[in-house]
Amino acid sequence: MHTAHSPSSHPSPDALEYALQHWPWIVALALLGACLGWLFSLATPARYEARLQITLSLDLSRTGTPSEDELDMVINAVGNILDAPSLRRQLLQDAQAAGISLTGDRLAERAFLERKGQSYVLRVQLEDPQQATWLVNRWAELAFADLQAAESHAMAAEALQRHLDGLSGCLAEAALSISAPAICPTDLAVLQTAIQETSQQIMAERQAGRGFFPGLRAIAPQPAELPLQPVQFARRNLILAGGLLGLLSGVLLLTWQLPERLIRRGKHSV
């Protein structure tokens, strides 16, 4: 037994042809949607974007040539420092103390970190260009201080590792009853204690270094310039979204031949 479908439940076979024949309606609705998106963009406050760049330099004479994966790991570790939750919290507190009205959620929506090769771009978007400039500069100050601290700990861990290697050599020579150098402790218990303490110090320094790689150096950024023009991509996105919505609405209306049905319904009602 076949079930009869009402004409309004599915589009007719020639619905696509009908839509193509009435393509001006689709164009008109797409333009209307784009205009509505443009009008909506005018009602939203303009945003100004302040940005600056932190560049990283790798001393190949110390590190050798790292593989692509190793380099990505090193640079991503720097990104984790630049965008650490603790840094964001400090930035939020400093901004509020400076009179900038911000919340944690709003800061997350307006402050962006973007990696570009071996550098990072810090971007802040706010309605006030001076506040945006202040915020991105303060972000860079906090981030660069954290990078310098991490670099110092990484260098200390590297120096301690060399010291540990020397102590381990002393222990190996003592086990083989070989005459040890003068720098080696003569007491085996003292040597073992020194090895244990140095290992603990290395772990602490590496943890404080937060994955920073010895031989990597962050170059101090130049202060951000005051943005003179608002960003335009937000307006373009709204216009594009409105145009696409209008286009889809036009295709849907004509696929279901709604204009024709409304005209017929109007004639029947007269």
pLDDT score at 269? 54
Q: How many Å apart are CA 53 and CA 50, to the nearest integer?
A: 11
Give the pLDDT confidence of 161-175 residue by residue, as tens digits. Answer: 999 988 888 877 766
pLDDT score at 265? 58
Mean pLDDT of 68-92: 93
pLDDT score at 268? 53
pLDDT score at 177? 58
Mean per-residue pLDDT of the chain: 80
pLDDT above 50: residue 144: yes
pLDDT above 90: residue 140: yes
Sheet holding 119-126, edge to edge: 111-116, 119-126, 48-58, 216-219
Q: How many Å apart are CA 218 and CA 82, to the nearest integer?
A: 11
pLDDT above 90: residue 89: yes
73 vs 172, more confident: 73
140 vs 9, more confident: 140
DSSP code of residue 58:
E
With pLDDT > 90 as the criterion, what percentage of the chain qualifies? 45
Radius of gyration (C-alpha) of the chain in whole angstroms: 32
Cβ-based burial of 175 (10 A; exposed 0-12, middle 13-18, buried ≥19)? exposed
pLDDT score at 197? 94
Cβ-based burial of 33 (10 A; exposed 0-12, middle 13-18, buried ≥19)? buried
- Residue 2's pLDDT band, with cuts at 50, 70 and 90, is very low
Give the pLDDT confidence of 182-223 residue by residue, as tens digits. Answer: 567 677 888 889 889 999 999 999 999 999 988 888 998 999
Spatial neighbors of 240 by CB under 8 A, at least 6 apart, are: 34, 37
Helix or strand run (H / E) with residue 212: none
pLDDT above 90: residue 114: yes
Distance from CA of residue 241 to its chain's centroid? 24
Contact between 242 and 35 under an 8 Å Cβ cutoff? The reply is yes
Contact between 159 and 255 under an 8 Å Cβ cutoff? The reply is no
pTM: 0.69
Give the pLDDT confidence of 11-70 residue by residue, as tens digits. Answer: 444 555 665 666 676 677 677 776 766 666 555 667 899 999 999 998 877 767 778 888
Spatial neighbors of 62 by CB under 8 A, at least 6 apart, are: 214, 215
Mean pLDDT of 97-109: 93
215 vs 157, more confident: 157
pLDDT score at 214? 86
- Residue 7's pLDDT band, with cuts at 50, 70 and 90, is very low
